[in-house]
Amino acid sequence: MRRTVLPSLRGWLQSTAVLSVIAGYVLLLVVNAALADLQRKQQHLKLAASLLQQASSGALDAGPLRSLGLEARVLADGELQSPTLQPGPSGQQWLLSRSSLRLPNNELRLLELRQDVTDSLQQQQFSQMLLVAAAGASILFTSLLLRPVLKRGLVLPLNDLDQELQALEADTLGEHLLDPSRQPQELQAIAEAFNNLQQRLAAAWQRERRFVDGVAHELRTPITLISGRSQRLLRQAHPDALHQSLQQIQAEASRMAELISVLLELARTDSGRLQLSIEALDGEQQLLEAFERLRPTAPERLRLGPLPERSLPTIHADRERLQQCLAALTDNALRYSQGPVLLRCSERCSPTGHHHAVVLHVSDSGPGIPAAERAHVLERFARGSSSAGTRGSGIGLAMVQELSQAMGAELRIADQAGGGADLQLCFPV
């Protein structure tokens, strides 16, 4: 369904006001012309009535009338005619009428009266042109006046309201309510409605936060207990079937603990409670620490890339969160590829040479991530088409995305030379 694009309220009000002014002046011109025409005809009929009295007494003298722009004559026959405007041969405009005349001998005749109204029409046209000029000036003045009026009375209050709304954070909902008295009368109801909505959202957000924190706390203890007991049992001798079951219990307990940890990080990010300890770090050293810590999980597949030719600038990040991101990216690469996973570090410069970044790479030799799906797989609980047949929650990359943004870095997905995906943590320096 095609969406209708509505015009701006400011432009709509301004154009409506200008059109109203134009319509008012057009109506004034029409009424003024009609009244002037009616006045001319009434004056003409008064002259005709006065001449009829003179003609009926036999004292009509048409000579002096010519000096007044009038021509009168008596017709033996013809039709009655109301005052009608007719052009003359030399460009003049005449008002012509024919009235019934009864002579002293009771004979019926017609009195034809022609009045030169050229000067009157020219004066009317001049008045209309003055009115048109006044209308143009008035329209221009109205248009110029409406801009500051609408800006002060509509645009600025809406901008202030927008800034107050943009400044609201999820963790501070309900703490900074809008003051309806500071809003124009037309926006006070909107401010009050938004305050009510904000308070309801704040209450719902607090309930959700308490629920997440409570569930995570309640689940973490039994999962830790299950993991510890299964590890203790695995160190004892058991039949093969029982030993395999204990290994599965241990693996699932570790997976659940990791999942809860990720969900807690996402909940902290959403609520604005994520605490970061940003410090200057050596990117190569951090990559080496991640390699040494994660190597036991896949000793034959996890590899460390060659060192850069020169030392790289330091990066600014939270050490614990950075290791968490590298662990999630490595786990993702090991899960979705069967070949080696390479950890390496590089430096990137923009084409202009003004921007530099230290890039931590986690590359695999799997099927890769199609370009059309790269934005999608960074969303929560979203998985790409290449993940079919593998286990996963779809929140690992989402957590890395949000943690990297919180540290001022960027998560990029690129293609690995020779096939596979190259997931990059780019830290500007």
Q: 15-24, 61-70, 141-150, 340-349: which has the highest mean pLDDT?
A: 340-349
Give the CATH class of 185-271. mainly alpha
In the structure encoding, which two tokens stand for residue 98, read together? 């024919």
Return the pLDDT at 426: 94
- Top-tier CATH class for 278-428: alpha beta
Under 8 Å between Cβ of 117 and 71: no
92 forms beta bridges with none
Amino acid sitting at position 34: A
163-169: average pLDDT: 75
Q: pLDDT (tens digit, 9 = 90+) per residue, 104-156?
A: 778 888 888 888 888 888 888 898 898 888 888 888 888 888 788 777 777 78
Structure tokens that stand for 207 in this block: 């309930």
Percent of the chain with pLDDT over 90: 17
Write down the pTM of the prediction. Answer: 0.52
Query: Beta strands of 185-267 (E only): which ranges?
Result: none
Are 348 and 424 spatial neighbours (Cβ–Cβ below 8 Å)? no
* Beta carbons of 54 and 113 less than 8 angstroms apart: no
Q: Tokens standing for 25?
A: 């002046």
351 pLDDT band, cuts 50/70/90, is: low
Q: What is the mean pLDDT of residues 393-419?
A: 87
Question: What is the band of 1 on the pLDDT scale with cuts at 50, 70, 90?
Answer: very low
Half-sphere exposure of 38 (CA within 13 A, CB side): 6
pLDDT tens-digit readout, 201-213: 888 877 777 776 6
In tens, the pLDDT along 358-405 reads 999 999 988 888 888 888 888 877 776 766 556 556 778 888 998 899
> Is the pLDDT reported for residue 338 higher than 70?
yes
Confidence of residue 239 (pLDDT cuts 50, 70, 90): confident
CA-CA distance, 415 to 363, in Å (whole number)? 9
Query: For 94, how many CA atoms within 13 A lie in the half-sphere containing its CB?
Result: 18
Q: What is the pLDDT confidence band of residue 62, given thresholds at 50, 70 and 90? A: low
pLDDT at 3: 55
Q: Residue 346 — left, alpha, or beta (φ > 0 → left; ψ -120 to 50 → alpha)?
A: beta
C-alpha pair distances (Å), 125 with each of 23, 43, 85, 131, 348: 19, 19, 15, 10, 77
The C-alpha atoms of residue 82 and residue 141 are separated, in whole angstroms, by 44
Nearest-CA neighbor of 170 among 192, 210, 201, 194? Answer: 201
With 80 as the cut, is the pLDDT of residue 13 above it? Answer: no
The string of pLDDT tens digits covering residues 211-236 is 766 766 677 778 788 878 888 888 88
Rounded CA-CA distance 75/343 in Å is 118
Residue 308 DSSP symbol: P
**Domain assignments of the chain as residue spans, ordered by start:** 9-140, 185-271, 278-428
Q: Has residue 303 got a pLDDT over 80?
A: yes
> Phi-psi bin for 292: left (phi > 0), alpha (psi -120 to 50), beta?
alpha
Query: Confidence band (pLDDT; 50, 70, 90) for 319?
Result: very high
Whose CA is closest to 369, among 353, 382, 351?
A: 382
Instruction: Work out the average pLDDT over 19-35.
Output: 88
Query: What stretch of H or E contains 281?
Result: strand 278-281
